[in-house]
Amino acid sequence: MMSRANRWLEALLALVYPSVCQICGAGRAVAREGYVCDACRCRPDGVRFILPPFCERCGLPVEGAVTTAYECGNCRDMQLDFSQARAVVVATGLVMEVIHRYKYNRALWFEPFLAELLCRKAAPEIAGTFDAIVPVPLHPLKAREREFNQAERLATTLGRASGLPVLRRAVRRVRFTATQTAFNRGERQRNMRGAFAVATGEPLVGRRLVVVDDVLTTGATTSACARALRKAGATEVAVWTVARGL
């Protein structure tokens, strides 16, 4: 049931944004749905939930039947520092359009859509099992340019849903890195070397942590973040993202 505050917020948003899907411009969608209608969610390149079988390490979906523990070629070729990575949905056309507009065009009205996807699957999996959530940080230059960190905002919602604290300052991005999109697997790993450092004074020794980001492709970014946390004494670092690139 929606709280009174949420009902007021939705009513306020309705004055600015009509109850129309912000993807197709035709279907009905409201603020709590992130302005993404059911028809868009169900289209061929819409929301595709990740179900077993998938790679035990990075969560990459596998076609066909798998009867034994499976590790994909990406994980065999890379040194990954997280124990496992899981994502909720495949990085389809719809999901990536939403994420791109959310991150780069400040389309914050899409946030409930992305947060609901993440919390639906991740919250019950991590509650009572892990100790805290760590969002992947932005470099200060990129943070000033974008004006918000999508990983931190999604992590905050996941923290409320799971009851876990969010350590927003546990890790700092200390080296500015070029965007990963143009790089291959090996280049992505090299690009992220030394990109993160743990903030002094954070009590990380012996803790089980969940790193949160929006999308995982090769895992180079989240692995570099996990490496810094493990060096600081975390006993386990897992990863949850909204989407998984194929």
Select from 220, 211, 215 the least CA-distant residue to 89. 215
Q: What is the SS3 assignment for 211?
A: strand
CA separation for the pair 158, 124 (Å, rounded): 10
Q: What is the pLDDT of residue 6?
A: 59
243 C-beta neighbours (distance < 10 Å), count: 26
Select from 160, 183, 37 the least CA-distant residue to 98. 37
Q: Please, what are the averages of pLDDT over each run of 10 residues along the chain (246 residues)?
A: 58 70 95 95 97 92 80 86 97 97 95 97 97 96 92 97 96 81 68 85 92 94 96 97 94
CA separation for the pair 23, 139 (Å, rounded): 30
Select from 165, 227, 164, 152 the least CA-distant residue to 192. 227
CA separation for the pair 192, 177 (Å, rounded): 7
81 C-beta neighbours (distance < 10 Å), count: 19
Select from 47, 41, 13, 234 the least CA-distant residue to 134. 234
Q: Write down all domains in the chain, each with its CATH number in brackets.
A: 1-43 (no CATH), 44-244 (3.40.50)
CA separation for the pair 225, 190 (Å, rounded): 13
